[in-house]
Amino acid sequence: MCGIAGLIHRGKSSDVGSEMTSMLTALKHRGPDSTGFAVYGEPNAGDYIMRLKVAEQEDMASGYDMQDKIDARVAMVEKRLAEHKASIKAKDAATPYAMRYVITHDGDTEAMARYIEDVEGTEILSLGNSLELIKDLGDANVVADSYGLRDFKGTHGIGHTRMATESDVDIRSAHPYWAFPYNDVSVVHNGQITNYWLKRRQMEQRGHRFMSSCDSELLAVYTADNLANGATLEDSLKASIEEIDGVFTYLVATKDELGMAKDTMAAKPLVLYESDDMIAMASEEVAIRAILPQEIDTTDPYDEEIRVWKA
């Protein structure tokens, strides 16, 4: 089933972290397996924020030497960052297996990202100037508390509560997906994609990497591919309605935009609230009501509808 939510404040920063947490808490019944947030703070030019995981949550329960392995992987990641002349300005670890680095780097971030992901068990969850991508098993409160999300200030964000239907319950199959290697682009999706393998083979032939067998990852890769070919976010969303088969409603966020697309059958829900200073959307109205208790007007986008909003 899955629940998706998005929020964009026009022209100002707000408590996006706590607002997204409230919205996804209200959507918990749509998917209790994992929760993820992609939130966008004020862009800090020059510095990159990199979030990565070096192991799965379930790995932590297996093997006496798991902590040693993780330490070795982290050391290897830092060594490879140094090899790419990236200097680490700050380092946090919310959980033993998930790291957050603030780095200064002025080379090719894609080459660096590929080199780091070559370390065993390592996946870069996000890389960008303003994107912070957090995902883990558990509900929105658990994830927000363990990653300290509630105090986060930003302009916009998207989030997802997952009910696993197409792949396993683990972090690699959790949403949002970062559109590797595009800095600051993330995707959340509710639905099933039926031409997943066909499209995945096409994308793999073009050199894109897939880290999971979750069909939603395709949308992130597909968006990245379109952006690489010079398409705008709007073009990419429009093309996806023709080229992606199945039932889907998905949200894409970039460093200053938020977009939505709905398939031709309009089979997956989305409720939309628009005002001059903010736009909120979610699979169910109950999520929007969690942050806007007053009486508001909301609408359902129709089939084949795409929308893009600027922050």
Partner 1 sequence: MESMSVMAEDMGYDPRAGKTRDEVEGTTQEDRARDLGMMSEQLKNRSMEVFFEVGEEENLVYPYADKVDFNKRTELDCEGKPTTQVNKDIRALMEEGYGTIVLKNPRGMHSVGVGILNKLNLIVEGSIGYFGVGLIDGPNVRIKGRVGWSCGENMMSGTVLIEKNAGSTFGAAMRGGDLVCRGSVGSRTGIDQKGGTIIVGGDTGAFSGFMMQRGRMVICGNAGKNLGDSMYDGTIYVGGEVKDYGVDAIPAELTDLDKAWLTRKLTQYGLMPEKGVDHFTKIVAGKQLWNYDNLEPNEKKLIL
Q: How far is the CB of 64 from partner 1 (least distance, A)?
A: 44
Q: 147 or 273: whose CB is closer to partner 1?
A: 273
Which is closer to partner 1, CB of 81 or CB of 279? 279
What is the CB neighbour count within 10 angstroms for residue 230? Answer: 7
Indicate if the alpha-carbon torsion angle 83, 86, 91, 97 is positive or negative: negative
Closest separation in Å from C-beta 153 to partner 1: 26
Catalytic residue among 1, 2, 104, 224: 2
Q: How far is the CB of 267 from partner 1 (least distance, A)?
A: 8
Q: Is the previous residue joined to 176 through a cis bond, with omega within 30 degrees of 0?
A: yes
Binding site for partner 1 (CB under 8 A): 264-266, 269, 271, 284-290, 293, 295, 297-300, 302-303
Q: How far is CA 292 from CA 18, 181, 273, 296, in A?
A: 13, 35, 10, 8
By beta-carbon proximity to partner 1, the closer residue of 53 and 289 is: 289
Cβ 26 vs Cβ 63: under 8 Å: no
β-bridge mates for residue 160, sequence order: 4, 36
Choice between 245 and 285, CB closer to partner 1 = 285
- C-beta of residue 85 within 8 angstroms of C-beta of residue 78: no
- Does the annotation count 2 as an active-site position? yes
Min CB(20)–partner 1 separation in Å: 17
Contacts of residue 74, defined as CB under 8 A and 6 or more positions apart, other chains included, come to: 54, 99
**Residues with catalytic annotation?**
2
